[in-house]
Amino acid sequence: MGGWVVGAGRESVRRGLGVPLRLGRRWVQGVGNLLLGGVLVDYASWRWIFVLGSLLVVAAGVLTWVFVPPDRPGAPGRSDLAGALVLTVGLVALLLGITEGPARGWSSAGVLGLFGLAVAALLGFVAVERRAADPLIDMGLLGSRPLLVAHLGALALGGNQFICYVLVPRLAELPRATDSGFEPGPAGFGLSVTGAALVLLPGTLLTLPASWLAAPLERRLGTRTPLVAGLGLAAGGGALLAVWHGEIAQVVLCYLVCSVGYGFAMAALPRLVNQASPVEHSGSANGVNTVARVLGGALGSQLGAAVVAGGGGFGATFWLAAVVAAVGGGLALFVGPAR
């Protein structure tokens, strides 16, 4: 579904407006989620987050139905509903298996069944797309070297982002050593959910201004440079967090470094995808890129939680975030084309 929405905005991207609009929407969404989510959990109930989210989805669906035209005049092809359905089943099963694995056990029948369903559905999706007259995703594009680099970069970005996004609030909300009364586990800052959100807020606010530097960097040094620089900064921020997370100010500063990298990388990815894909396939290519980032986030958050729960501690998990981003940046640097 994300690919179709992005496809409708392709003309804006060609005019130079699409990427800033998408980043601005994510920026507003991120800031709003942090502040509103913390207030709801602290002063109402966490259940209200899902109630409000559902209402927003319904409102967006109604507005889309009313104001977005069903198709552009003369646009060829039809919607690939069969492919969308099979892909949805595969991705939901995969993400649900990753989410339930730590709690139910990776070798449990339910989790293995979800992974089996995911494999079967994704293989079925490939078969459906190869036969479709108007496929949701052109399978030939997945082998394109520039697109492969963009998708791997999105996977690494999502992994680093969500490890930090899960661990920083968890560290902030853990009791202080003097408050907990015992020490075998790691000590935190003893903040509320809203307080933990405020630790992330300065970095979140910096992401959008940082993204504005991606375009001039691209013009001077090539299309892959903002992605490489962004993942490099995310790796550097993760490494700083691994060795420097004993005080709130330290965590805020280290997360600022990560956030500058996120701004660079998130601005670079849609540009890389749009330049490497034909106009008629740019929507589905951007959709795949978004799915890669979400998948990386799911894997990263679960791996991070598993490392902390297994006694690895926050330092080891932040190092994991740094390595994930560094590997993605290295692939973009040494595998991707210069221009």
Dump the DSSP string for 96-129.
Answer: HHHHHHHHH-TTSHHHHHHHHHHHHHHHHHHHHH
Where is pLDDT greater, at 290 or 229? Answer: 229
For the ranges 68-82, 265-279, 317-331, the lowest mean pLDDT is seen at 68-82
Cβ atoms of residues 159 and 295 within 8 Å: no
pLDDT at 212: 87
Burial 255-272 (b: 16+ CB within 10 A, else e): bbbbbbbbbbbbbbbbbb
Distant-in-sequence contacts of 82-89, Cβ < 8 A, 24+ apart = 82/128, 82/132, 83/125, 83/128, 83/129, 83/132, 83/135, 83/136, 83/137, 84/1, 84/136, 86/121, 86/124, 86/125, 86/128, 87/121, 87/122, 87/125, 87/136, 87/137, 89/117, 89/121
Say whether pLDDT at 291 is over 50: yes
How far apart (Å, rounded) are the C-alpha atoms in residues 318 and 305? 11
pLDDT bin (cut points 50, 70, 90) of residue 280 is confident
- Highest mean pLDDT, choosing among 4-18, 146-160, 229-243, 276-290: 229-243
Per cent of the chain over pLDDT 70 is 82
How far apart (Å, rounded) are the C-alpha atoms in residues 198 and 176? 18
pLDDT at 181: 44
Say whether pLDDT at 29 is over 80: no
Say whether pLDDT at 168 is over 70: yes
Where is pLDDT greater, at 13 or 310? Answer: 310
pLDDT at 21: 54
pLDDT bin (cut points 50, 70, 90) of residue 260 is very high
pLDDT at 30: 60
Section 317-335 average pLDDT: 91
Section 199-214 average pLDDT: 88
Single-letter residue type at 88: T
Where is pLDDT greater, at 310 or 199? Answer: 199
pLDDT at 2: 44
How far apart (Å, rounded) are the C-alpha atoms in residues 124 and 114? 15
pLDDT bin (cut points 50, 70, 90) of residue 24 is low
**Average pLDDT, rounded, for the chain:** 81
Q: Which two tokens stand for residue 216?
A: 């001039």
Q: Which two tokens stand for residue 313?
A: 């501690």
Section 244-251 average pLDDT: 92
pLDDT at 336: 58
Section 206-231 average pLDDT: 89
Section 326-331 average pLDDT: 93
